[in-house]
Amino acid sequence: MTRLPGVRTTCGALFSLVLTTWCSTTPAADAPVSPNHAREMSRGLELFKSDVRAILTTHCLDCHGGKTTKGDFNLVTRENLLREGTEGPNVVLGKSAESRMYRQVAHLDRPHMPAKAAKLPDDAINKIGKWIDAGAPYDKPLVETQVAKTKDRSVVTDADRSFWSFQPLANSTPPNVKANAWVRTPVDQFIVAKLDEKGIKPNPIADKRHLIRRATFDLTGLPPTPEEIDAFLNDNRPDAYERVVDRLLTSPRMGERWARFWLDLARYAESHGYEQDYDRNFAFYYRDFLIRAINDDMPYNQFVRWQIAGDELAPESPLALMATGFLGAGTHATQITANQVEKERYDELDDMAATTGTAMLGLTIGCARCHDHKFDPIPTNDYYRMVATFTTTVRSEIDLDLNPDQTKKAKADFDAAHAKVVQSRTEYETGVLPGNVTSWIASKPQPFGIPTDLRAGAIAALLSVPSEKRTPAQLIALTSYFREHDEAWQARDKAVHEHEKLAPKPALKKVMITSEGVPAIRFHTQGGDFLEKTHYLKRGDLAQKQGEATAGVLQVLNRASDGDGHWKAVPPKGVHTSYRRTGLANWLTDMDTGAGHLLARVVVNRLWQGHFGRGLVATPSDFGTQGERPSHPELLDYLASELVRNGWHLKPIHRLMMTSAVYQQTAEDDAARTKIDPENALCWRRPHRRLEAEAIRDSMLAVSGQLDETMYGAGTLDESMRRRSIYFMIKRSHLIPLMMLFDAPDSLVGMGKRQATTVAPQALALINNPQVRSYAKGLATRVLPAAKTSASDAVRQAYRLTLGRVPDSDELVATLDFLVAQAERYRADGKADPLALALEDACQSLLCLNEFVYID
């Protein structure tokens, strides 16, 4: 966008070139050139060489072009000195009194400069002023190497494309490792190869109880039932574990867990945020789309394509329309005043582009809004071209038939039945009716009904026409008159009309989608729903529009010889959308010359993080130069290639990971190996992981026996709800407290990895929250019958339900001791059912245990 005025020559040539061109390339271009210009410049140059260079180098350079460049003000070269900043020029040539640089150094304006040091001596300030008055000439840059070092970030080069994540997937074959009984899948070969390099041995395979608990929590976010555990323990087939994984992969509970991770990335909520935080009552269909897509193992490329442009790619599919909720899931300002309309819309476009970038490509595109990305090869131009994709994209609520296939079938069934009814009438009309009409006419009848009836008069006239002169039209008129009074025909005709009323109507539901050419959801705004054009903005500033941006893709992920046009989609005739988003979706999923390889890497890394706690790339939403490098790049590419090879189905990748030894090893820690690899980046042990907010609550509900497994549909803010936590309504101003306590995101920006904090308010909730209390009560109710005969049995049962194992003798004794003493206390307090109360307390303690929420 803003290339520096074209001076990229050797240092010596720089000055003369600048001297001759500055009048036309600087903000001072309009100022008349002083008649003494040459003499002043020459004097200024002397001043620069004798004093100013030293002053600038000593006091200013570090922060302005040396070590860093603060305030985007770089004074290494005269070019940079004269570049306009955010708030206009820093130096007005010939006019020190109007130059920001001088005014700040002289402490006439804030911020005073130098920023964190004493004011310069008056003499130095005067010299800077005089130098500016003389045209601020340089003999050479303050730093010799700067010109060579300065990179024009608006151009993306092949060197930029050679960064690891921008490269196509490597043809990665599992490394050969020494014969090793531990290795179970190709994944393990990659892991062992790295461990061997460091001389680290992985942990042994965990016992079956740990395995089923681990796998069940990972895939479903719920504990295994005692029955499931027993079945696994008793299954001695060699592939018993694989069978468990396969069973879990088909559980509808899986979508309910894994959709939540994607909701985090999609900053999903069911309200608009801001001033009034109006509800989005029909936004939950996006959440339902995710659950269905994951459960059905929708190919990931389709999953992505539909979220970006499902309305264009498969308008006949309700699921594809629901998927577009992704783009519109962000906040939407309401009560927008006239001066804010543009800003709010650019913010909204930024939200769509930035979220697409982080969620799907692991790229921080949003950083390029105000300047070429400081670290990644994403020029500002690319940012605005990506943003322009969404220029006319808005949220809308449409009436949608959620079951078009069913509607189609019902319609076909009806049509068939209806045809029969109609046929019966037709048969009568062609077979019987003509004879009846003939006999009726032959009987020389009077018209039916009241003689004064106008129609009766007309019919009488027709009847009087001799039969040989009667025209076919007259016969039709008489027939249709007669049949209205013919009971047999009437009955058949009535049957047709009655049956018509049974025609199936599609059950239309309001659904929030994101599309174009549809009525936008609109709340008090003093402007339009979108801006007709997206402009390049200099420094992200609306006051500095620089031409219209047309939709395009990131150059660094563009290897097509025909450029952006390669993915461009032309809207078919008659559609109301621009197909710009289809173009973006084409590029995102293109393995050959587009972004497909990065898309695949990012998603398999997210899966790895979901199963191992830490991604192969530890910064799951930053695959750029500032992100972490992959710990196992070959493995990452292997998994990404497997994904593509499997038709982008994710479930086989889950299975590949979970059936590996690296997944099945124990969590045992070890000081020596920790010393070598403290982060466990090489995966020599199973990490100890705390369940996230939803899984903690869902697990408590499950063991309490109160979990309502109803899927889909509108959520609720009612904390006493008994469905899984993914069905809480997410209202930005009323987030569910228990979820927030355990680090659920606040749904404002996409989040690729949650924290797992430990603070007292979490404990407070677990010991006092009425909901948690009710879960404990539910669990106690389940084991109370056993307690009536044997307290030990009740405790064992509670342990099996919560922790999937029986208590050891210490635990059993401790719990029994407690039950006795606690029941005694309640009895002393005069409580009605002391044992039940004591049991409830013990059950609540089990729900609070580390072992209940930390899965190893």
Task: Pick out residues in 259-318 that bind other proteins (CB under 8 A).
Answer: 267, 273-275, 277
The residue type at 73: F
Query: Does 65 engage in binding with other proteins (CB under 8 A)?
Result: no
Indicate which single residue of 499, 773, 782, 827 sits in contact with other proteins (rule: CB under 8 A): 773
Phi, psi of 663 (to 5 degrees): -80, -30
Q: How far is the CB of 358 from other proteins (least distance, A)?
A: 5
When the beta carbons of 26 and 621 are compared against other proteins, the nearer one is 621
Least Cβ distance, residue 621 to other proteins (angstroms): 5
Binder among 117, 338, 416, 442 for other proteins (CB under 8 A): 338
- 596-612 and 252-265 are packed helices; what angle lies between their axes, rounded to 10 degrees? 120
Tokens of 799: 């342990």
Q: Smallest distance, Å, CB 301 to other proteins?
A: 23
Q: Is 340 in the site for other proteins (CB under 8 A)?
A: yes
Among 630, 750, 778, 804, binds other proteins (CB under 8 A): 750
Q: Tell me which residues in 125-164 interact with other proteins (CB under 8 A).
A: none
Decide whether 265 or 293 has the Cβ nearer to other proteins: 265
Alpha helix (H) residue ranges in 11-164: 11-25, 37-47, 53-59, 78-81, 100-105, 122-133, 146-149, 158-161
Answer yes or no whether residue 626 interacts with other proteins by CB under 8 A: yes
Q: Is the dihedral of CA 354, 360, 361, 363 positive or negative?
A: positive
Cβ proximity to other proteins: between 253 and 632 the closer is 632
CB of 628 to other proteins, least distance (A): 8
Crossing angle (nearest 10°) for helices 633-645 and 186-198: 180
Q: What is the per-residue binding string for other proteins in 438-477, x denoting contact by CB under 8 A?
A: ----------------------------------------
* Closer by beta carbon to other proteins, 163 or else 854: 854
50 touches other proteins by CB under 8 A: no
Please select the residue that binds other proteins; options are 688, 705, 708, 714, rule is CB under 8 A: 688
* CA–CA dist 662, 639 (Å, integer): 15
Q: Does 759 bind other proteins (CB under 8 A)?
A: yes
In angstroms, what is the minimal distance from the CB of 748 to other proteins? 3
CB of 581 to other proteins, least distance (A): 22
| DSSP code for 135 | T
Q: Should residue 542 be labelled a site residue for other proteins when binding is judged by CB under 8 A? A: no
Contact pattern from residue 543 through residue 582 relative to other proteins, giving x for each residue in contact according to CB under 8 A and a dash for the rest = ----------------------------------------
Shortest spacing between CB 624 and other proteins, in angstroms: 6
Burial group, residue 592, by CB count within 10 angstroms (0-12, 13-18, 19+): exposed
Burial class (CB in 10 A: 0-12, 13-18, 19+), 105: buried
With 0-12 / 13-18 / 19 or more C-beta atoms within 10 angstroms meaning exposed / middle / buried, residue 506 is middle
Q: Which of 844, 842, 845, 847 is nearest to 825 (CA)?
A: 842
In contact, 529 and 520? CB cutoff 8 Å: yes
The residue among 527 and 652 lying less far from other proteins, judged by its C-beta, is 527
Residues in Cβ contact with 131 at an 8 Å cutoff, skipping those fewer than 6 apart: 44, 47, 48, 52, 137
CB 245 within 8 A of CB 717: no
- Shortest distance in whole angstroms from residue 270 CB to other proteins: 15
Residue 344, both tokens: 């709010």
Residue 770 is a binding residue for other proteins (CB under 8 A): yes
Hey, which residues between 235 and 254 contact other proteins (CB under 8 A)? Answer: none
Q: Which is nearer to other proteins, 293 or 795 (CB)?
A: 795
Q: Cβ(696)–Cβ(853) under 8 Å?
A: yes
Cα 115 to its chain centre, rounded Å, is 41
Site for other proteins in 591-620 (CB under 8 A): 614, 618-619
> Judged by CB under 8 A, how many residues of this single chain contact other proteins?
94
Does position 714 interact with other proteins (CB under 8 A)? The reply is no
**128 membership: H or E segment, kind and range:** helix 122-133
The smaller minimum CB distance to other proteins, of residues 122 and 829, is found at 829
Determine, following the binding rule CB under 8 A, whether residue 333 of this chain makes contact with other proteins: yes
Q: Which of 758, 789, 830, 832 binds other proteins (CB under 8 A)?
A: 758
Q: Where are the beta strands (DSSP E) in 697-762?
A: none
Q: For other proteins, which residue of 13, 31, 33, 115 counts as binding (CB under 8 A)?
A: 115
Which residue bears the tokens 């004097």? 43
Task: Give, as ranges, the residues between 797 and 836 that touch other proteins (CB under 8 A).
Answer: 810-811, 814-815, 818, 821-822, 825-826, 829
Closest listed residue to residue 747, CA positions, set 260, 279, 268: 268
- In 3D, which of 592, 681, 590 has the Cα closest to residue 361? 590
**Three-class SS of residue 109?**
coil
From 165-173, 337-345, 411-419, 502-510, give the range in contact with other proteins by CB under 8 A: 337-345
Rg of the Cα trace of the chain? 38
Q: Does 491 bind other proteins (CB under 8 A)?
A: no
Q: Is 368 in the site for other proteins (CB under 8 A)?
A: no
Q: What share of the chain is helix, strand, coil (3-state, %, to 5)?
A: 55, 5, 40
Q: Give me the DSSP letters along 630-655.
A: PSSHHHHHHHHHHHHHTTT-SHHHHH
Residue from 9, 173, 426, 526 binding other proteins (CB under 8 A): 526
Binding of residue 677 to other proteins (CB under 8 A) = no
Q: Does 768 bind other proteins (CB under 8 A)?
A: yes
Nearer residue to other proteins within complex by CB, 435 or 830: 830
Interface residue with other proteins, options 30, 760, 830, 832 (CB under 8 A): 760
Closer of 106 and 294 to other proteins (Cβ): 106
State the angle between helix axes of 226-233 and 791-803 in degrees (0 to 180), rounded to the nearest 10: 80
Tokens matching residue 40? 């002043």
Q: Indicate whether 751 belongs to the interface with other proteins (CB under 8 A).
A: yes
167 interacts with other proteins by CB under 8 A = no
